[in-house]
Amino acid sequence: MSDREPAAAREPVPTTSVCPRPRFAGRRVTDLSAVAGSVIWLGLVAGTIDGTIPIAPVALYVALAALVLVPLGFGVVEIPRDGTAVTVPYRAAVVGQGPAALALVAALAAPQGSLVAVALTLPWLCVTGSIALCGLGRLTARGGGPLPELAIDAGLLYVPVAATFLCMHAAGVSLRFAPIIVLLTGVHFHYAGFALPLVVGLTGRILTEDDGTFPATITGRATAAATVVIVVGILLIAVGITFSPLVEVVAVVAFTVAVAGFAIRLLRDVVPAVARLPGLLLAVAALSICWTMALALAFASASLPGTPSLITIPEMIRWHGSVNAFGFALPALLAVRLLEG
């Protein structure tokens, strides 16, 4: 890395002009939304502790993602300017994110199965749909690759899946799953589906050549393979959970190895190449996600017939969920925002 320009100065592969980021009082709307969301989230935690706000602990992870992580992550992604096809969804997502997140929080506190709960989730579904349109616009503007950009696109495209499962949870629709699984799937796609691919793509830029491709070395090819497995594995795990325990376990194993491999690259090559504070945040994120992937592997192994359960769902919520939220997603997204300047 020593023969490259500083990481903070690296630019994405050029495509076309980008949408200007909406600002208020000279500040990015996404930054202001993330700060305000942080304050609101802390208020929710306080209200949950003293019993004045009827939100389950797992719902606090959803609230954190909607109020803080989505504006943080979406705010650092460059969206190509392409008439109204992308500009309108982009502005709608940026401006509508805050109010939609508040409506989603209210939905989590509303009676499950009520019309009010379902209606309150619809703004978030619209906002995440707009984010997905931005991801599609990025993808079509480039016509494909390179891999870090595809990972970013995937994060934007996956997030409506999270909103869809939250709508199902609000409606009391669980299909053939336990109700908690539907809610946890909504959580999963905010973190593993949105935050993880964004971080992989945004930090992966630092590891690429000037044309956006990974070097034709063993480590470069391994990082490229890990990026592909992470992007595809998120979907394969969901398919496995739905249809086949064997597919689920194989997908989780491959996903775990890929994430751990990328985390090692972060620690070895990205952390030393960036400024101290974002480097520290990325180091915390890399170590944290290795721990959460080990827990995910232990949990998935129990889906095979005759395999004892190594960790329960409540334990996964407590340890996997909390470390993913505060050890990985929040530090990593803060780091990439700091690297942008």
Yes or no: say if 297 and 252 are a contact pair by the CB < 8 Å rule. yes
DSSP 52: S
DSSP 180: H
Yes or no: say if 148 and 98 are a contact pair by the CB < 8 Å rule. no
Residue 2 lies in a domain: no
Q: What is the pTM of this model?
A: 0.92
Residue 1 lies in a domain: no
Residue 72 lies in a domain: yes
Can you give the pLDDT at residue 11?
54
HSE-up of residue 199 (Cα within 13 Å, Cβ side)? 34
Residue 298 lies in a domain: yes
Residue 241 lies in a domain: yes
Can you give the pLDDT at residue 6?
41
Range of the structural domain that residue 138 is part of? 7-340
Task: Write out pLDDT tens, residues 161-210.
Answer: 999 999 999 999 988 788 888 999 999 999 999 999 999 999 999 999 98
Can you give the pLDDT at residue 118?
97
Task: Write out pLDDT tens, residues 31-42.
Answer: 999 999 999 999
Residue 296 lies in a domain: yes
At 4, is the pLDDT very low, low, confident or very high (cuts 50, 70, 90)?
very low
Tell me the average pLDDT across 221-236. 95
Q: What is the average pLDDT value for the chain, to the nearest integer? A: 90
Question: For residue 262, is pLDDT > 60?
Answer: yes
What is the percentage of the chain residues whose pLDDT exceeds 70?
94
333, 46, 291: which is closest to 197 by C-alpha?
Answer: 333
Can you give the pLDDT at residue 59?
93
Residue 26 lies in a domain: yes
Question: For residue 1, is pLDDT > 50?
Answer: no
What is the count of structural domains for the chain?
Answer: 1
Distance CA 308, CA 257 (A): 22
Q: Rounded to whole angstroms, what are the CA distances from 140 to 52, 82, 119, 295?
A: 47, 10, 32, 37
Query: Hey, what are 174's tokens?
Result: 């669980």
Yes or no: say if 257 and 177 are a contact pair by the CB < 8 Å rule. no
Instruction: Go through the chain and tell me how many residues it has.
Output: 341
Yes or no: say if 141 and 15 are a contact pair by the CB < 8 Å rule. yes
Residue 249 lies in a domain: yes
277, 253, 255: which is closest to 337 by C-alpha?
Answer: 277
Query: What helix, strand, coil percent values describe the chain, rounded to 5?
Result: 75, 0, 20
SS3 of 27, please? strand
Least confident of 51-55, 60-64, 215-219, 238-242: 238-242
Handedness of CA 289, 295, 298, 303 (dihedral sign): negative
152, 115, 110, 118: which is closest to 135 by C-alpha?
Answer: 152
Give kind and range of the element (H or E) at residue 28. Answer: strand 27-28
Tell me the average pLDDT across 280-292. 97
